[in-house]
Structure 1
């Protein structure tokens, strides 16, 4: 880590430019690079290294990620001290698994952008120690216990008093004097999990996702924080609305079924409603701006860059079949399907020519099949060849 690297990491405009696309900042850094051409290659290299913190790969070593993470945390520590907020984050960055560092960085940025909120404070103040990558889903309980769920498809059930049953077998008891702080369920790439919350809401979490939630819902609202993709079957409680918060949006419901895809690296957040009704609010909305209300079989697509939201009539099955290990698509860009396959199998698929990814394809994948069988099917529907580079990397060619 050079002095120049440290100089940029300690610049809040630099970090915001990398993790939150902003046209005005993009112009600022374009001008800066034009005026300082001697720094261009190092800035581009540092930007790439920081972006790789968000993905599950082995491009950076654990030591490199820890060093970058600690520099970011040091910067945040100084900013937070100025606003008299205290966060215990160092251990978080020190022990976070390589496979889920993207969620850690996302969590930090969400907290800083949402202001002084008790819910996020509880989340941020937890010291998190996650087992090394390569394991199954990880549950971090309210008392700080780390539980490696081992199975790639796990079941976690919470009772009303906060007792946890794992995979219909082992039990983690709840204690009455235990504070009701945040739990976290972390799903590395190549895994999925089903979670039943204490109010009987059922959540299916897709690969590369994380959900932060209380062991018991004791406030006037039932709030959870999502990174990645999840399908919710919300139990009805008119006195306690259920709210899903993401980095940019919050979705409020009473009792309904819907899917949210809000991966940190995606430019678009998609909310698809199957049953009931949901209202969607941008975290940066003004006081008098109205919430967007969805009807069944509608999808709200929020663009993180333009901040625009568009509503479409859709076939809900295309967005929810992943909960059954299926992936259905109709005239969808090949790159979008590839991204979903990458997450499910924890692999990397590149394109020898960028235009190959723009091909629109249709079909249905059974993700319960072996990886090679799924890739062979993709070759047929895309009229391409998918060559194996190594155990985790593939290349799409004509």
Structure 2
């Protein structure tokens, strides 16, 4: 009588290391047959493992080309079973180890990707930190401020200014050299151009890219573009003519949208107190990404993102209405006077207030911004039923009710 033993949960590997099981496989008898068949009937999972182990033993047994075993042959087969089982276990451990290594590699790849993603996010936060660090400078000065690196700040009094960077690291303002940055700052140091209301400026980078910067705008950019990408941060309104270089993409980042540029000219309006952000393409091609939306613009198209609703759309426009400001003109077509006065307020640095009855009126035309604010408002007064009163430093616009 075979003594009882609990084989529940045994695997084929364990059975191949069990002398009683191997003996039954090599020399089955009636009593042992009954015992093992009962185990198989009572435990389906164990039955599968028994069948696997039996196939393994049978395979080895057939390799010896003899149906009958001497005691020595039986011992040799037993040793071979142990040897093959050890090899199997080694292979299994190797496979298991390989799986762990692969999982670890995937894990570290994910961590690296997450780090890269957060590095990019951190870089954007750095832009915002730069704006915050110079917030007092922007709010207390009526001059254009050029911030070079961390320490050097240059005030520019002219209403229209031009900043240029040479390939040698020289910086000029209105053709006058103000600094030679070569070797003084790392290539990752961030410069900033702060243009207050009532002033305009432009930047020419060492790669040939030109940017026109409208009133009330800020542009943050590195001391020197690296070999992988050219990236700047914009708050406000800028017009760009980007030098074509397909191997080094140009990226314009704002608080809520990014623009990937393929050598082109376009306008970005991204004031932090506007309801809409706009990217208007004049020539070439750009890809705009915002709020999970990614779209490609063609010339004479505009992407507009409504900040409150969080949705964006593409429409065909007359680009002249959106880029004429860089040439000193304001062209508008059926535009609410509230928006017209808002833009004039920024351009001339004059506080203008109008009630809802005035703001809802629409107007079309062209304003020459080279004229003084009083003259420009005079054109609007002749085109719309409005009157203009001055209260200290504020202009109050009200509607004339015609009887």
Shift in Å, 1:326:
0.4
Residue of structure 2 equivalent to 1:325: 328
Is the 8 Å Cα contact of residues 389 and 395 (structure 1) preserved in structure 2?
A: no
2:137 is paired with a residue of what secondary structure?
coil
1:315 and 2:322 aligned: no
Deviation track 1:43-98 (CA, whole Å, cap 9, x = no partner) reads xxxxxxxxxxxxxxxxxxxxxxxxxxxxxxxxxxxxxxxxxxxxxxxxxxxxxxxx
Q: Which of 173, 188, 192 is 1:184 aligned to? A: 192
Q: Which residue of 2 aligns with 1:390?
A: 392
Q: CA separation in 1, counterparts of 2:119 and 2:348?
A: 33
Partner of 1:175: 182
- The aligned residue for residue 150 of structure 1 is 157
1:394 shift after superposition: 3.0
Candidates 253, 266, 282, aligned match of 1:245: 253
Q: Please show how residues 79-118 of structure 1 align to structure 2 within 5 Å.
A: 116-118=121-123
Number of aligned residue pairs: give it: 280
SS of aligned partner of 2:140? coil
CA distance, structure 1, for counterparts of residue 182 and residue 394 of structure 2 = 43
- Structure-2 separation of matches of 1:125 and 1:338: 30
Give the alignment's Cα RMSD to 1 decimal: 2.1
CA distance in 1: counterparts of 2:256 and 2:124, whole angstroms = 16
Q: Is the contact made by 1:301 and 1:311 (CA closer than 8 Å) also made in structure 2?
A: yes
Q: Does the Cα contact within 8 Å between 2:267 and 2:279 map onto a contact in 1?
A: yes
1:123-177 per-residue CA deviation (whole Å, 9 max, x = no partner) reads 6269546277353210000142110011111000011233211111233112325
**Over residues 240-283 of structure 1, what are the superposed CA-to-partner deviations in whole Å (9 max), with x where a residue is unaligned?**
1111111110000120000010000001001100000000001x
Q: Partners in 1 of 2:301 and 2:397 — Cα distance? A: 35
Question: Counterpart in 2 of 1:163?
Answer: 170
Alpha-carbon distance, 1:365 to partner: 0.6
Written as runs of structure 1 = structure 2, the 5 A alignment for 1:274-285 is: 274-282=282-290, 284-285=291-292
- TM superposition score normalised by structure 1: 0.67
Distance 2:124 2:374 in 1: 43
**1:293: how far off?**
0.3
Question: Counterparts of 1:159 and 1:123 in 2: how far apart (Å)?
Answer: 26
Q: 1:356 to 1:395 in 2, by over 3 A?
A: closer
- Whole-Å separation in 2 of the counterparts to 1:239 and 1:307: 33
Deviation, structure 1 residue 382: 1.9
Distance 2:138 2:120 in 1: 30
Task: Write the deviation string for residues 172-201 of structure 1: whole angstroms up to 9, x where unpaired.
Answer: 112325212110000110111011122211
Normalising by structure 2, what TM-score?
0.66
The alpha carbon displacement at 1:355 in A equals 2.3
**Structure 1 counterpart SS, 2:359:** helix
Preserved contact between residue 198 and residue 215 of structure 1 (Cα < 8 Å): no
Pick one of 211, 229, 243 that aligns with 1:235.
243
Name stretches of at least 5 consecutive residues in structure 1 with no aligned partner: 1-112
Evaluate the alpha carbon distance shift between residue 354 and residue 299 of structure 1 in structure 2; reply closer, same or farther with a 3 A threshold: same
Cα separation, partners in 2 of 1:277 and 1:137, compared to 1, 3 Å: same
More off after superposition, 382-391 vs 230-239: 382-391
Matched, 1:213 2:221: yes
Q: How does 1:16-31 map to 2 (within 5 A)?
A: none
